[in-house]
A = this chain, B = another copy of it.
Amino acid sequence: MLQELTETRYGKHDYIFREGDPTEYFHIVKEGTVKCVKSTPEGKECTLKMLMPGDLFCCDAAAFDGASHPGSAQPMGDVSILRMKKKSYFEMLRRNPDAAMEVIKYLGNRLNEAQEKTKDLALDRADQRLASLLVDLAARSGIPDPNGIRLTVRMTREDMANMIGITTETAIRIMSRFKRDRLVSGTANRLLIRDLKGLKALASAS
């Protein structure tokens, strides 16, 4: 069974798959961070989700028929991915109700997250959404640091902008303000959350 899971490594400039590619595998993030991206013909990008170790992807319907990927998957730095042919995955689920239940649970959580994000995009201002993003990433990829919480994932202002539906310039401006207000510090290589409470307050000041 488990030998059907193979490990692959990717670097920062690779694609795990591209939007429109046929779906062949079910994936699990083993190490590193993967971003799920959709783009428009004119090159605008929208990052739907940052996948961390333990996250599943392509565990869904697109893997069930001959469909193609609705978005692309790109590593943020070096990552290691476990994958399984979709046929094996499919059979494994049929034989293993526990696994199927886990996938249902996982997809349900992903759907809730996605709907929460929809609500944020629809109702919150840009600075609130950016604060939310930072709070979320602090919880998911942060490590303690003498001055706060350091984010392990390398993320530029442009990356942030794509995650919350604003332009790079707006992300830079808001981050400059957060910096001035001592909420955060540092740049892509060393992002530091200095005042988590302050960010949380901003995030939920809807």
Contacts and interface: CB of A to CB of B under 8 A. Distances in A.
Interface of A: 36, 38, 40-42, 44, 46, 48-49, 59-64, 70-71, 90, 93-95, 97, 100-101, 103-112, 114-119, 121-123, 164-165, 206
A27 to B, nearest CB: 14
Contacts of A104: 59-61, 64, 93, 100, 103-104, 107
29 contacts: A41-B206, A44-B123, A46-B119, A48-B115, A59-B108, A60-B112, A61-B105, A61-B108, A61-B112, A64-B101, A64-B105, A64-B108, A70-B112, A70-B116, A90-B101, A93-B97, A93-B104, A94-B101, A95-B97, A100-B100, A103-B104, A104-B107, A107-B108, A107-B111, A110-B111, A111-B111, A114-B118, A118-B118, A122-B164
What is the oligomeric copy number?
2
A123 B40 contact: yes
A48 B44 CA distance: 24
Contacts of A61: 104-109, 112
A178 B75 CA distance: 42
Contacts of A103: 104
A111 B42 contact: no
Contacts of A101: 64, 90, 93-94, 100
A60 to B, nearest CB: 3
A116 B119 CA distance: 14
A178 to B, nearest CB: 21
A131 B145 CA distance: 48
Nearest to A206: B40
A7 B63 CA distance: 33
A21 B36 CA distance: 32
Contact of A111 (B44, B114, B116): B114
